[in-house]
């Protein structure tokens, strides 16, 4: 076989491709022992690039040389060498496939079509990771503000930020939400967001909330000297989601929130790249579990919650925290945060926002796991404080201050009653061994 023929194969050495021209996808495949995965992996590469299950006239040697995906490696776990024991019923494989960047372009829909696409219906196959070439990422603007920009807006250079989700989630009239917003802001919440379950509702509109809440934001700033970002939930059908965003900004809203997987990553990307949407975007994680929770299907959580929303321009991403009510492995949680914050070519880092049943007793753990460049998200942990939401916000701020100063929460709480109350009431609300 000559070199030209080899270049047209859906197969290559890891050292034989130009990593500046290919996206490298890594998969986990788990199949019955008799299924010949090394052979079928090449069919996978063809299926997701130039061809189909049978040869077609248009798939010429020239087309294959330039556009066929290439299997770089098929690795079995455990790595059998001499023979496969007869007792083995299921064999597990790690497969790496290189996809030509030219097939995809700087967009997310064709990325997902290529690397997940039809093979998502092919059995136990899960996308573990994607390595992007610089030319691919160069086509994205990423977060407009990022961690540094959000900190600059709030005038908070170092400490963890505090977010509150207004609770109840939905069903309340404007003035109830306005009162809760005021109390959370007075308690020291740096960001206050709508719950993902309320957007432009007939009983409580986006326009009404923005007008009223931003009036309150100004009043609270005059009293406390601290600004609050209000992330109004603009989630809606297209094109109304864009109308919601532009109207909110026109009315003075200083941040936006979107259920990014429900509306689609390209919608959030379009909002982030719109020069008239000059405020941070908070991305909510709902629907994500349908994409990553299966151990054998879909995509790993750090892709769904990390790389993709960062590419698409999220300045803050809500992520499940392992010590709250969310079922998540701690190492997975940390990996999501790494994909939001570690260097990724020219993209700014995105704030991870640990969320889901967070109480003040969990603040030291969150900071110990992820550092201070986080937004700590709490809903019921603020609104259900025995002394009310103002005290709830203060308790979190006290927990943050103590943690940053390296003071144990129990010691700090002796002179801070708001914190002391909740340390006793919510020391370990989900039975996960939280210590303070």
Task: Please check whether residue 325 is in contact with residue 235, taking contact to mean a CB–CB distance below 8 angstroms.
Answer: no
Number of domains in the chain: 2
Q: Does 150 lie in the same domain as 133?
A: no
Lateral strand order in the sheet of 229-233: 351-355, 316-320, 281-284, 255-259, 229-233, 191-193, 161-165, 375-378
Confidence (pLDDT) at 436: 38
On average, the pLDDT of the chain sits at: 94
Distance from the Cα of residue 165 to its chain's centroid:
17
Q: What is the mean pLDDT of residues 422-436?
A: 67
Residue 433: inside a domain: no
Q: Are residue 294 and residue 386 in the same domain, yes or no?
A: yes
- 98 in any annotated domain: yes
Chain Cα centroid distance, residue 373 = 15
Residue 311 falls within a domain, yes or no? yes
48 and 125 together in one domain: yes
Q: Could you confirm whether 167 is annotated as catalytic? A: yes
**Same structural domain, 391 and 290:** yes
**Average pLDDT score over residue span 318-337:** 93
Range of the domain at 327: 146-425
CATH of the domain at 12: 3.30.70.150
Shared domain check, 373 and 237: yes
Instruction: Please enumerate in sequence order all residues whose Cβ is within 8 A of that of 132, keeping only pairs 6 or more positions apart, or say none.
Output: 23, 307, 344, 345
Of 70, 126, 167, 297, catalytic: 167
Residue 250 and residue 236: Cα distance in Å, rounded?
18
Q: What are the pLDDT digits (tens) for 279-304?
A: 999 999 999 999 999 999 999 999 99
Given this model, what pLDDT does residue 435 score? 42
Q: pLDDT tens, 35-51? A: 999 999 999 999 999 88
pLDDT of residue 431: 62
Mean pLDDT of 160-167: 97
Strand segments (E) across 135-294:
161-165, 191-193, 229-233, 255-259, 281-284
Q: Strand locations in 277-333, DSSP E? A: 281-284, 298-299, 316-320
How far is Cα 260 from Cα 282, in angstroms, rounded to an integer? 9
Higher pLDDT, 60 or 293: 293
Q: Give the whole-angstrom CA distance, residue 68 versus residue 297.
A: 24
**What average pLDDT does the segment 171-189 reach?**
97
How far from 174 is each of 177, 195, 206, 253, CA to CA, in Å? 5, 14, 10, 16
- Verify that 122 and 161 share a domain, yes or no: no
342 in the same domain as 201: yes
Question: Which of the listed residues 137, 165, 195 is the one where a domain comes to its end?
Answer: 137
State which of 97, 118, 137 marks the end of a domain: 137
Strands (E), 108-237: 125-131, 161-165, 191-193, 229-233
Residues 132, 152 within the same domain: no
Tens of pLDDT, residue by residue over 20-39, are 999 999 999 999 999 999 99
Check whether 434 has a pLDDT greater than 70.
no
User: Does the pLDDT at position 54 exceed 90?
Assistant: no
Residue 431 lies in a domain: no
What are 371-394's pLDDT values in tens digits? Answer: 999 999 999 999 999 999 999 999
195 & 328 share domain: yes
What pLDDT score does 235 carry? 98
Mean pLDDT throughout 202-221? 98
211 is catalytic: no
341 and 279 together in one domain: yes
Top-confidence residue, 70 or 433: 70
Instruction: Please compute the mean of the pLDDT values over residues 342-367 and round it to a whole number.
Output: 96
Q: Which domain CATH number covers 341? A: 3.20.20.110
In a domain, 251, yes or no: yes
Binning pLDDT at 50, 70 and 90, where does residue 55 land? confident
- Regarding whether 79 and 27 lie in a shared domain, the answer is yes
CA-CA-CA-CA torsion for 226, 231, 232, 238, nearest 10 degrees? 150
In this prediction, residue 135 carries a pLDDT of 96
In a domain, 430, yes or no: no
pLDDT above 70: residue 432: no
Q: Tell me, yes or no, whether 434 lies in a domain.
A: no
Distance CA 324, CA 309 (A): 22
In this structure, are 29 and 167 located in the same domain?
A: no
Distance (Å, whole) CA 272 – CA 270:
5
Which residue of the set 70, 126, 193, 284 is catalytic? Answer: 284
CB 275 within 8 A of CB 246: no
């Amino acid at each position: 076989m000559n070199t030209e023929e080899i270049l047209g194969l859906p197969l290559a050495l890891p050292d034989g491709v130009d990593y500046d021209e290919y996206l490298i996808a890594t998969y986990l495949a788990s199949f019955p022992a008799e299924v010949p995965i090394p052979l079928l992996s090449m069919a996978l590469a063809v299926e997701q690039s130039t061809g189909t299950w049978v040869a077609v006239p248009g798939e010429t040697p020239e087309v294959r040389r330039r556009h066929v995906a290439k299997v770089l490696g098929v690795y079995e776990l455990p790595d059998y060498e001499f023979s496969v024991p007869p007792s083995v019923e299921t064999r597990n494989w790690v497969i790496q496939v290189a996809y030509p960047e030219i097939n995809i372009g700087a967009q997310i829909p064709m990325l997902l079509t290529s690397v997940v696409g039809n093979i998502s219906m092919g059995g136990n196959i899960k996308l573990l990771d994607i390595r992007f070439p610089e030319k691919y990422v160069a086509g994205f603007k990423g977060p407009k503000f990022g961690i540094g920009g959000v900190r600059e807006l709030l005038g908070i250079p170092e400490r963890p930020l505090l977010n509150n989700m207004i609770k109840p989630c939905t069903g309340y009239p404007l003035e109830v939400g306005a009162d809760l917003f005021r109390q959370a802001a007075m308690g020291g919440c740096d960001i206050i967001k709508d719950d993902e379950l309320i957007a432009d509702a007939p009983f409580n509109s986006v326009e009404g909330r923005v007008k009223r809440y931003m009036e309150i934001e100004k009043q609270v700033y005059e009293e406390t000297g601290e600004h609050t970002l209000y992330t109004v939930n603009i989630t809606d059908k297209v094109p109304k989601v864009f109308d919601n965003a532009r109207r909110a900004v026109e009315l003075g809203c200083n941040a936006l929130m979107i259920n990014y997987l429900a509306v689609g990553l390209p919608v959030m990307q379009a909002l982030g790249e719109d020069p008239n949407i000059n405020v941070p975007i908070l991305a909510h994680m709902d629907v994500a579990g349908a994409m990553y929770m299966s151990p054998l299907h879909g995509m790993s959580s750090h892709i769904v919650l990390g790389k993709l929303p960062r590419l698409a321009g999220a300045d803050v991403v809500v992520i499940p925290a392992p010590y709250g009510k969310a079922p998540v492995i701690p190492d997975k949680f940390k990996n999501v945060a790494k994909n939001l914050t570690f260097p990724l070519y020219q993209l700014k880092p995105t704030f991870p926002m640990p969320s889901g049943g967070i109480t003040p007793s969990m603040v030291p753990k969150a900071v110990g796991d992820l550092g201070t460049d986080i937004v700590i998200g709490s809903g019921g942990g603020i609104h259900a404080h025995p002394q009310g939401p103002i005290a709830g916000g203060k308790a979190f701020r006290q927990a943050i201050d103590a943690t940053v100063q390296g003071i144990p929460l129990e010691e700090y709480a002796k002179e801070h009653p708001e914190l002391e109350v909740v340390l006793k009431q919510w020391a370990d609300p989900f039975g996960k061994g939280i210590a303070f």
